[in-house]
Amino acid sequence: MKKFLKSFIYSFNGLSYAFRTQLSFRVHCLAAVLVVLLGLYFKLNSYEWLWIAIAIAVVVILELVNTAIEILVDLVSPEQNPKAGAIKDVASAAVLIGGLMALVIGLIIFVPKLI
């Protein structure tokens, strides 16, 4: 049980590291807070909250995986390497696609409420 509980500490250490070192992670967290506040203001229904929660989770998860990949690439290839750069670019592209999808979900939910 002690080992299990300690795993949560490691997870929170990872969240803390990402928040302290990654500007894009902080921006996505701020965006998530703003979207939640907007959702409370517009009194979203449970289906809308479900889509918002999924969108936020996908972006945060992708951002964390991207950060982990960047750290690993820097560790194994500290010098300039085209393949290392491509790995980072592809991981970053995954975050971009997730973010764009979250934006589309947000627009579908919030634009009708603003019109």
Q: Which residues belong to the active site?
A: 63
81-90 core/surface letters (b: 16 or more CB in 10 A; e: else): eeebeebbee
Other C-beta atoms closer than 10 Å to the C-beta of 29 total 18
Q: Which CA distances in Å does 53 have to 26, 38, 114? A: 17, 13, 20
Residue 88 is assigned to a ligand binding site: yes
Q: Which amino acid is at 39?
A: G
Per the annotation, does 7 bind a ligand?
no
User: Residue 24, annotated ligand binder?
Assistant: no
74 known ligand binder = no
CA nearest 108: which of 65, 59, 50, 61?
50
Q: Which residues are annotated as a binding site?
A: 10, 63, 70, 88-89, 92
Binding-site annotation, residues for ATP: 10, 70, 88-89
Binding residues for substrate: 63, 92
Binding residues for a divalent metal cation: 70
